[in-house]
Amino acid sequence: MKLLEDKISAEGKALSETVLKVDSFINHLVDPVLMQEIGKTFAAYYKYKGVTKVFTIESSGIAPAVYTAAALGVPMVILKKQTSKILSGNVYQTNITSFTKGTSYELTLNSQYICPEDRILIIDDFLANGEAATGASTLVKKGGAEIVGIGILIEKVFQRGRKRLEDQGYEVRSLARVSKLAKGIIQFTEADL
Amino acid sequence: MKLLEDKISAEGKALSETVLKVDSFINHLVDPVLMQEIGKTFAAYYKYKGVTKVFTIESSGIAPAVYTAAALGVPMVILKKQTSKILSGNVYQTNITSFTKGTSYELTLNSQYICPEDRILIIDDFLANGEAATGASTLVKKGGAEIVGIGILIEKVFQRGRKRLEDQGYEVRSLARVSKLAKGIIQFTEADL
């Protein structure tokens, strides 16, 4: 997606060989026009795939996911980050450890909001090692539903996320694929959409 | 806003005299059509007030805030919940204690994303005791900007949030004003918009 790549080139900040900051248009200050275009781009690709719900992980995925859900005419579900296990039969949980941030949380889904007939599109802002997307897919499986695809805004190609998700049989589609980061340098390889 | 009141009547769950769950259309499963209508409703009221940015607090305010920002043609800023103080001159922080949840966090804003010329509209999902909105207004003041208004989806009229914000000189506009909660009972008083 050229619009997203252009924004990343203009405003993204490569802080190291692995860290890309996009605080000025995705993660902290959010450009609603860009979010709407992202939603339209994902919807154009997924519209004939029978998606019934868009899942995302709080909180940076919410803005692009809600526009994708709107463009597809389906609800969005925000998977919650809980700090502790909920001992109740009403929720599905899976533990996520973020190596980047050194944090751990229980990704949580109320079992009411998924059914075996659901066809789920997972949308997230970043794909690095694939922990969050793998966690989301675990919750979808616990709910007995199917994953139609995983849509990513920015993929770090040099990390193992895509391989890990593809090895589980999931299709990954990224709007921007960053092949190299170094202080002040951001290089792209061809995007999926 | 009749559409929101109808949704709350149909799907909201009054768990006690103070707790109203709206997980099935705002906080966990999100209805994008409702979010878009909320954005349009806020924008219709605030469109001639010179709003330059919409501020919200992660994460339940993001979906309605991004549609409000889109309808007003301005960016959205997500105020972040950090667990610890950041010792850097680049951020404004203020401590928020939620009595409802028994939690405490540092509401955080990168100083780059506010300037003294800004006219800020704060959007949040709930108004109870006004802790989050007061924290957001503290960060706006630290940035030297002006608060145009505070837009709330669901106000709990029987708690002190509105009075607290009005006493600070802010105008509060709520789409749904809940005057009474009890197990299985949700009563409204006239909404602002």
Dihedral of the alpha carbons of B137, B141, B145, B147, in degrees to the nearest 10: 30
Q: Is the pLDDT of residue B14 over 90?
A: yes
**Which residues in chain A are closer than 8 Å to B31, comparing Cβ atoms?**
75
Residue owning tokens 């330059």: B52
Q: How far apart are CA A118 and CA A125, in angstroms?
A: 22
Q: What percent of chain A has pLDDT over 70?
A: 99
Q: How far is A67 from chain B (nearest CA, A)?
A: 8
A105 chain-B contacts, CB cut-off 8 A: none
pLDDT at A100: 66
Q: What is the ipTM, given to two decimal places?
A: 0.96
DSSP state of A28: S
What backbone phi and psi angles, to 5 degrees, belong to B59?
Answer: -120, -15
Place of tokens 């809980």: A82
Q: Which amino acid is at B158?
A: F
What is the C-alpha to C-alpha distance for residues A51 and A63, in angstroms, rounded to an integer? 18
Mutation choice for B interface testing from A15, A23, A25, A28 by most B CBs within 10 A: A28
Is B32's Cβ below 8 Å from some Cβ in A? yes
Share of chain B above pLDDT 90, in %: 91
Q: Collect all residues of chain B within an 8 Å Cβ-Cβ radius of residue A21.
A: none
Residue predicted with more confidence, B167 or B102: B167
In eight-state DSSP terms, residue B142 is H
Model confidence pLDDT, tens digit, residues A35-92? 999 999 999 999 999 999 999 999 999 999 999 999 999 999 999 998 888 887 799 9
Query: 């809600």: which residue's tokens?
Result: A66
Q: What span, in angstroms and rounded, lies between the C-alpha atoms of B111 and A85?
A: 35
pLDDT of residue B11 exceeding 70: yes
**pLDDT (0 to 100) of residue B100:** 66
pLDDT over 80 (residue A34):
yes
The token pair that represents B177 in the structure block: 């004003």
* Contact check, Cβ <8 Å, A32/B70: yes
Mention the CATH class of domain B2-189: alpha beta
pTM above 0.90, yes or no: yes
- The per-residue pLDDT for range A77-128, each reduced to its tens digit, is 999 998 888 887 799 999 998 776 778 999 999 999 999 999 999 999 999 9
Which residues contact residue A190 at a Cβ distance below 8 angstroms, ignoring those fewer than 6 apart? A177
C-alpha B54/C-alpha B67 separation (Å) is 10
Would you tell me which residues 105-144 of chain A have a C-beta closer than 8 angstroms to some C-beta of chain B?
110, 112-113
Q: Is B140 within 8 Å of B55 (Cβ atoms)?
A: yes
Closest CA to A124 of A113, A132, A116, A112: A132
**Minimal Cβ distance to A23: which of B32, B67, B110:** B110
Interior angle at CA A84, CA B31 and CA B83, nearest 5: 85
Task: Please name the fold of domain A2-79+108-189.
Answer: Rossmann fold (3.40.50)
Domain ranges for chain A: 2-79+108-189
Query: What is the arithmetic mean of pLDDT over A11-34?
Result: 95
Q: Tell me the average pLDDT across B103-125.
A: 96
pLDDT over threshold 90, residue A5: yes
Inform me whether the pLDDT recorded for A187 exceeds 90.
yes
B67 to chain A, any CB pair closer than 8 A? The answer is yes
pLDDT, tens digit (0-9, with 9 covering 90-100), for B66-78: 999 999 999 999 9
Query: CB B9: neighbour CB atoms within 10 A?
Result: 12
Nearest to B29 among A33, A59, A113 (CB): A113
Residue A185 DSSP code = E
pLDDT, mean over chain A? 95
C-beta separation of A75 from B29 below 8 A: yes
B52 at interface of A, judged by CB pairs closer than 8 A: no
